[in-house]
A = this chain, B = another copy of it.
Amino acid sequence: MSEDLKNQDEFVKEITPKSIDFSRWYTDVIRKAKMADYTPIKGCMVIMPYGFSLWENMQGILDSMIKDTGHKNCYFPMFITESMLKKEADHVEGFAPEVAWVTKAGTTELEEPLVLRATSEPVICTMYSKWIKSYRDLPLLYNQWANIIRWEKVTRLFLRTTEFLWQEGHTVHRTESDAEEETIKMLDVYNTFIEKYLAVPVIVGKKTESEKFAGALRTYTLEALMSDGKALQMGTSHNLGQHFAKVFDIRFLDEDQLEKYAWQTSWGVTTRLIGSVIMVHGDDRGLILPPMIAPTQAVIVPIIFEKSKGQVIEKVEKLHQNLKAKFRIESDTRDEYSSGWKYNEYEMKGVPIRIEIGPKDVKNNQVVLVRRDTGEKIFVKDEEIESELTRLISDIQNNLFAVAENFRKKNIHLTDTYKEFKEIMENKRGFLLAHWCGSAECENKIKKETTATIRCIPIKDRDRMIEKGKCICCNGESSERVYFAKAY
């Protein structure tokens, strides 16, 4: 928070270059841009206003998309009883090691200890069992925005913290195919949201048996490539089948008067998406935020000389007034900082467009627009500022996606030998598109020897590569390549 003069140097001091230490670069950027900060509570962070405002913009867009597809928001308790948690065997096995236990309230020991939600299936299924009676109650399409607790050993700002924020959709359907359709529909919603608004290209596919959600029939995922060559799971959509319905007793009377177990899905994305935006787009000068989600789309910075100060400030304020209904705009007329210092600051904060106004610009009825992504300077006449901003916002958004897609293209490596696989994984990283026989044995062996995991078995034509081949590990038959990567 401090903006003392003595701290200015530190503030504009170069952040650790990405190429030197990616992990330090990531943390430096987050802390210097004031997106988040560590707390004394192990593994927990504060999401500071600048980071939270980015999350609010993302949340607003995704929330509309979730509602437009017929879902309704609600709020379930954050507590889960021990007996609820233990109902679904795979689920408890998956989550038990990382759940937090409330054992005492005031000075009283609880009779039955409670778990803090690491995901809400147990409490939600308990209520669904009570609410659902007839096929007329289906589909039931609920979503909630909530905080989640998972006790993590190694934590990293936004990517893996003990507490994080997410949305979790929980739906109930009449048939298996209805549930599968919903699972894929929400996967597509995430795909559109992430690519269009976050400008992050994803590979969409199915998780292997060993990587799927604890208790699910099938898990689908969206995988993105960070600029250090590691993959990040951006979101998941689970077809839960009837596993939970059977143990939580979610039955309905169908139109044919037969009692049946319901089919369910769940799907979620988290505040880790903020981490992906930082890692995919940022550079050595700091953040680069996609304009469609940036807290500030353009910042107006005056260039002040004593003689012309009045005119310049007047123009800045008039422009701010004119643009603020249409754009998320700020102006910084503070005296105690130089315009050069401000350029650095807003570059670090990743503001997509800087609008410079100096005495010459007042005289020439123009402004100078500077793009954060390319550094390009554009002189624009006053009457064209609004249309040029609109154009630039769309152009920057598209360019960020194109740059990221290009990077990913260069970092998808086809490989057919385990030796080469290991070499690439060791040196270049990226996605390795390789043949796999389908056995958990090979999957585990590769994971153990290289730390790379199968990120997904792609399901979209754009991502698939169907062809006969040999498993890189055991030489067994394979009919299609899958994506491997080291992952966060």
Binding site for B on A (CB under 8 A): 1-4, 7, 37, 39-41, 44-49, 51-53, 55-56, 72-81, 84, 96-107, 113-114, 116, 123, 126-127, 130-134, 136-137, 140, 142, 146-147, 149, 151, 162-163, 165, 253, 336
Task: Give 10 A-B pairs besides A4-B136, A4-B253, A104-B113 with Cβ atoms closer than 8 angstroms.
Answer: A1-B140, A41-B77, A41-B114, A46-B75, A46-B127, A47-B75, A48-B74, A51-B74, A78-B147, A96-B106
In the complex, residue of chain B having the shortest beta-carbon distance to the beta carbon of A48: B74
Known: A44-B79, A46-B76, A78-B163. A2 touches B136 (CB 8 A): yes
A73 touches B98 (CB 8 A): no
B4 touches A133 (CB 8 A): yes
B77 touches A39 (CB 8 A): yes
Q: Which 10 A/B pairs are nearest by Cβ-Cβ distance?
A: A2-B133, A44-B77, A49-B72, A1-B131, A105-B151, A101-B104, A1-B137, A47-B75, A97-B106, A52-B74
Interface centre among A56, A79, A81 (most CB of B within 10 A): A79
Known: A2-B131, A73-B52, A74-B49. A39 touches B123 (CB 8 A): yes
Using Cβ atoms and an 8 Å threshold, which residues of chain B touch A73?
49, 52-53, 56
Using Cβ atoms and an 8 Å threshold, which residues of chain B touch A51?
74
Using Cβ atoms and an 8 Å threshold, which residues of chain B touch A97?
106-107
A1 touches B53 (CB 8 A): no
A101 touches B100 (CB 8 A): no
Using Cβ atoms and an 8 Å threshold, which residues of chain B touch A132?
1-2
In the complex, residue of chain B having the shortest beta-carbon distance to the beta carbon of A149: B78
In the complex, residue of chain B having the shortest beta-carbon distance to the beta carbon of A116: B102
In the assembled complex, the CB of A93 is this many whole angstroms from the nearest CB of chain B, namely 12
In the assembled complex, the CB of A329 is this many whole angstroms from the nearest CB of chain B, namely 15
- A101 to B104, alpha carbons, bound, how many Å? 5
Using Cβ atoms and an 8 Å threshold, which residues of chain B touch A102?
100-103, 116
Known: A41-B123, A73-B56, A123-B41. A99 touches B103 (CB 8 A): no
Known: A1-B137, A3-B136, A114-B41. A163 touches B46 (CB 8 A): no
| Candidates B4, B45, B49, B253; contact of A77 at CB < 8 Å | B45
- A98 to B51, alpha carbons, bound, how many Å? 32
25 contacts between A and B (CB under 8 A): A1-B133, A1-B137, A2-B132, A2-B136, A3-B136, A4-B136, A40-B84, A41-B81, A41-B123, A46-B74, A46-B75, A46-B127, A49-B73, A78-B147, A78-B149, A79-B163, A99-B105, A100-B102, A101-B102, A101-B104, A102-B102, A102-B116, A103-B104, A106-B151, A146-B147
Using Cβ atoms and an 8 Å threshold, which residues of chain B touch A78?
147, 149, 163
- A98 to B102, alpha carbons, bound, how many Å? 13
B72 touches A163 (CB 8 A): no
- A101 to B105, alpha carbons, bound, how many Å? 6
Using Cβ atoms and an 8 Å threshold, which residues of chain B touch A142?
49
In the assembled complex, the CB of A33 is this many whole angstroms from the nearest CB of chain B, namely 14
Using Cβ atoms and an 8 Å threshold, which residues of chain B touch A49?
72-74, 142
Known: A73-B56, A100-B105, A126-B40. A3 touches B134 (CB 8 A): yes
Interface centre among A41, A72, A104, A140 (most CB of B within 10 A): A41
B98 touches A101 (CB 8 A): no
In the complex, residue of chain B having the shortest beta-carbon distance to the beta carbon of A106: B97
Interface centre among A46, A96, A107, A132 (most CB of B within 10 A): A46
Using Cβ atoms and an 8 Å threshold, which residues of chain B touch A114?
41
Using Cβ atoms and an 8 Å threshold, which residues of chain B touch A46?
74-77, 127
- A165 to B37, alpha carbons, bound, how many Å? 24
Interface centre among A2, A137, A165 (most CB of B within 10 A): A2
- A236 to B240, alpha carbons, bound, how many Å? 44
In the complex, residue of chain B having the shortest beta-carbon distance to the beta carbon of A146: B147
- A51 to B336, alpha carbons, bound, how many Å? 49
Using Cβ atoms and an 8 Å threshold, which residues of chain B touch A55?
75
In the assembled complex, the CB of A111 is this many whole angstroms from the nearest CB of chain B, namely 9
Using Cβ atoms and an 8 Å threshold, which residues of chain B touch A52?
72-75
In the complex, residue of chain B having the shortest beta-carbon distance to the beta carbon of A73: B52
Using Cβ atoms and an 8 Å threshold, which residues of chain B touch A37?
127, 130-131
- A146 to B46, alpha carbons, bound, how many Å? 13
- A287 to B93, alpha carbons, bound, how many Å? 44
